[in-house]
Amino acid sequence: MNADITRPRRLALFNALENNQIILIFANSEQEGIEKFHQDNHFLYFTGIMVPDAVYCLGKLQNRQIEHLFIQRGIPEREVWDGKKLSAEEAKSSTGMESVKYLDEFYTYLNSYCPGTEKIWSNIGNPQIGKPLNYPSFMLKPLRKIFPAITIESINNLVRGMRSIKSEWEINQMQKAINLTGDGFLDVLHQAKTGMMEYELEAILYYRMQRNGVQKWGFAPIIAAGINATTLHYKQNNSCIAENDIVLMDIGASYLNYSADITRCFPVNGRFTARQKAVYDEVLGIQKAIIDTVKPGVSLTFLNERTNELMQEALIRLGLIQTKEEFRRYYMHSISHHLGMDTHDLGARDSILESGNVITVEPGIYIPEEKLGIRIEDDILVTEDGHVNLSSHIPKEIAELEAIRQEALK
């Protein structure tokens, strides 16, 4: 992600600002402990750099633009431990910004900008009751005391429109994440056996992804055999896969912080039972019908309402419910969300689709009493004249899945 990619984004961001407003986007802080460093998505989107403990500052004050990047100052004695820090010159050339300062100057600059500032947009997220302040909120805390008149608002509300329309470059990153996830899924189809643990399938997937440059999952992978698939956010992945289980895998690599989000299900013994097939066919039919309706101008609300109708009919056909009102017993979630750097990306739940959006389409039926959960999820790009299914090459037809499994089990 170089300056040619991030510079136009910063220009659009500046144009979204009203007079006497400042944007402060904090990079993630260096993590102690076992986790590798991963960057804040807003910070990466606008700067393109993977360094911890930095701040991007953009303001429109008295109708003049101010823009600085604050980075950590290198400490020569630490270099043998941590390596060299990004220098100011390197930061300038990778971001295309002219003014790079050090973090120890941050509050001095900020204090000089605050008188007259009406609003600060920052990546404070949604404060959660009972949880500690996140890093940006912590950094802005002194300011709230000294300049109580300044409104501090989540930057999500400013950049939602920008981030939900993907550029060609972004779509290419997402396609890579999707393809590597699909390759990993095919490896699983070829290697899974009855009696394996769910985490073994997780390892097969991650091996393929990491060997191809993926540094992290887009989200905690769900590898759920049998009844585990009826727990929507199951992520223990530590059960043994039994003979007649369907394995549900809701998985997505993150490639340069762009996330895939794919769900596939397969029978571990190579063949769906008649009942498993019937449920699978209903979910697949609904998924295809909903994907067909995706085009600019259609709302996510419409997709949800249409799914609910189709689901009611399907569940009655399957003999699971008698009246339409009962359908939430077996289908509890919504059909779609925006996908991008965040797996649940910026974009309102009731948004109207525009060309350049990427959304998931993911109906499911969950029947604990039959130890069966089926969800099928693809990643759909909205285009001028309809849509493109970015994950259409990842097998989901029953005949295809059975053929690959039976070949693998020979």
Binding residues (CB under 5 A) for Mn ion: these are 261, 360
Which structure tokens are listed for 340? 């991008």
Burial of 88 (0-12, 13-18, 19+ CB in 10 A): middle
CA 157 to chain centre: 17
Q: At its nearest, how many Å lie between Mn ion and the CB of residue 182?
A: 15
Nearest distance, CB of residue 40 and Mn ion, angstroms = 21
Q: Which of 287, 360 has the CB closer to Mn ion?
A: 360
Long-range contacts from 275-281, C-beta under 8 angstroms, 24+ separation = 275/370, 275/372, 276/246, 276/372, 276/374, 277/398, 278/318, 279/318, 279/365, 279/367, 279/372, 279/374, 280/246, 280/374, 280/376, 280/398, 281/398
Q: How many CB atoms lie within 10 A of CB 78?
A: 12
State in angstroms the smallest separation of the CB of 23 from Mn ion.
Answer: 29
Kindly state the smallest distance separating residue 209's Cβ from Mn ion, in Å.
17
Q: Quote the least distance from Cβ 308 to Mn ion, whole Å.
A: 17
Give dist(CA 82, CA 93) in Å, integer: 22
CA distance 369 to 304: 26
Rounded to a whole number of angstroms, the minimum distance from the CB of residue 380 to Mn ion is 11
Nearer to Mn ion, 228 or 360 (CB): 360
Smaller CB distance to Mn ion: residue 226 or 252? Answer: 252
Which is nearest to 319 in space by CA: 278, 350, 289?
A: 278
Tell me if 366 sits within 8 A of 331, measured CB to CB.
yes
For Mn ion, which is the closer residue by CB, 49 or 339?
339
Q: Which residue, 46 or 219, is less far from Mn ion as judged by CB?
A: 219
Q: Closer CB to Mn ion, residue 170 or residue 261? A: 261
Q: Which is nearer to Mn ion, 150 or 358 (CB)?
A: 358
Residue 368 CB, nearest approach to Mn ion (Å): 21
Q: How far apart, in Å, do the first and last CA atoms of the chain sit?
A: 45
